[in-house]
Amino acid sequence: MKNQKRTKGTICVQGGWQPKTGEPRVLPIYQSTTFKYETSQQMADLFDLKAAGYFYTRLQNPTNDNVAAKICELEGGVAAMLTSSGQAANYYAVFNICSAGDHFVASSTLYGGTYNLFAVTMKKMGIEVTFVDPDASEDEIARAFRPNTRLLFGESVANPALTVLDIEKFARIAHSHGVPLIVDNTFPTPINCNPFDWGADIVTHSTTKYMDGHATAVGGAIVDSGNFDWAAHADNFPGLTTPDDSYHGLVYTTAFGQGAYITKATVQLMRDLGSIQAPMNAFLLNIGLETLHLRMQRHCSNAQAVAEFLASRPEVAWVSYPGLAGDKYHALAQKYMPTGTCGVLTFGLKGGRERSVEFMDSLRFISIVTHVADARSCVLHPASHTHRQLSDRQLVEAGVPADLIRFSVGIEDIEDILNDLQQALEKQ
């Protein structure tokens, strides 16, 4: 979409759907699997990718594309697509340029689902990953690269480790090896961080989190900056730079230029694997996006107040939040996301695992759920829930000590959040 540069709040409200005279003001839900044409030739041209247009919702749907266009503009990219989940987004983003026999490098601090996808499931497909400490030196990270390495991957703010990625460092390492940097930007959202400004080439999202923001619909998105020159590293990316037999020998980089990566992911991966987002979910996501800029501000100011409150309490052993001046990632957060990071923080209580459970059970409106990043404040105790099969020692090795509580700070009034925390801390 070609608009003059607008600021993010305006894009959140006005981006994507641009109705013409007499059309609905609100993005309609195109609740249709299929689309009508006048002639057989028109349809044939679509199947040959000679003309752009909709024919079957498994590949593309106008509701989804309008929401993808809004996310694309928020990230400053050239092309974007929605997927059925954040998992599907990360899978497609990698699989679009990696096949059996290829290898990629990823930060070790990742969302658990992404870790499993990369380390276990994609391994079964013949794609190997090496995990690196994101804080390691450029030389150390570069040592993980092999001749068949196809990309570097990291999370701008990792869930739940809350490490902040040094995006410029990662981009330098990727580009010096002739491969792109893919950044999962779910936690800060494009409101707080634009990885493309720092050299990232592809951005992914679990739109299930802040973008939807109300815990109503699972979804994902992939955005391409258009900056990576696939043809200049043609040997690394034959899927993009050599003929695709399933489209009569079409070459994506030649036919689509900066749109090559997203076009391939749509007409090949979405066609064959079918992880499309339901248009109804895209509609809900779009309503969430309309207030993303307001909600992120509130999530961040509330989380900052909670982090400072917890850090001041004698019952609290430690607090991790990049917004805290003493946090290990404070300087990186200031550089890459000066308007704030996210609403998620982690902390531990003196008294360890048992005290953590008592504390959580004493909370009143802050609820115990397996989710983060929606309007309602919620907590999770990995040692009792997501990681309950691990021993205390294994928990430490996994980076989730037994006392760790993950707190997703919502957008309720801060006085009420702090009061709820205080009464639970003081309950014996």
Ligand X SMILES: *Cc1c(COP(=O)(O)O)cnc(C)c1O
Which residues contact ligand X by CB under 6 A?
A: 85-87, 90, 111, 113-114, 155, 159, 184, 186, 206, 208-209, 218, 220
Q: How far is the CB of 372 from ligand X (least distance, A)?
A: 7
Q: How far is the CB of 371 from ligand X (least distance, A)?
A: 9
CB 320 within 8 A of CB 279: no
Which one, 165 or 402, has the nearer CB to ligand X? 165
Q: Terminus-to-terminus CA distance in the chain, angstroms?
A: 58
Q: How far is the CB of 86 from ligand X (least distance, A)?
A: 2
CA diameter of the chain: 75
User: Virtual CA dihedral for 276, 6, 288, 82, nearest 10 degrees?
Assistant: 10
When CB distances to ligand X are compared, the closest residue is: 86
Cα 166 to the chain's mean position, in Å? Answer: 16
Which one, 88 or 349, has the nearer CB to ligand X? 88
Q: How far is the CB of 207 from ligand X (least distance, A)?
A: 7
For 139, the token pair is: 């030389």
Q: How far is the CB of 216 from ligand X (least distance, A)?
A: 12
Which one, 157 or 250, has the nearer CB to ligand X? 157
Q: Return the half-sphere exposure (C-beta side, CA atoms, 13 A cut-off) of residue 283.
A: 11
Which one, 156 or 263, has the nearer CB to ligand X? 156
Name residue 134's amino acid: P
Which one, 90 or 258, has the nearer CB to ligand X? 90
Angstrom distance (rounded) from CA 104 to CA 126? 12
CB 276 within 8 A of CB 270: yes
Helix or strand run (H / E) with residue 419 = helix 414-426
Q: How far is the CB of 361 from ligand X (least distance, A)?
A: 25
What 3-state class would DSSP assign to 107? strand
For 415, the token pair is: 């006085």
Which one, 316 or 409, has the nearer CB to ligand X? 409
CB 75 within 8 A of CB 223: yes
Q: How far is the CB of 238 from ligand X (least distance, A)?
A: 28
Which one, 162 or 260, has the nearer CB to ligand X? 162
Helix extents (H) in 55-127:
62-75, 86-95, 112-116, 122-124
CB 223 within 8 A of CB 80: yes
Q: How far is the CB of 218 from ligand X (least distance, A)?
A: 5
For 226, the token pair is: 């258009």
Which one, 113 or 259, has the nearer CB to ligand X? 113
Q: Return the half-sphere exposure (C-beta side, CA atoms, 13 A cut-off) of residue 375.
A: 13
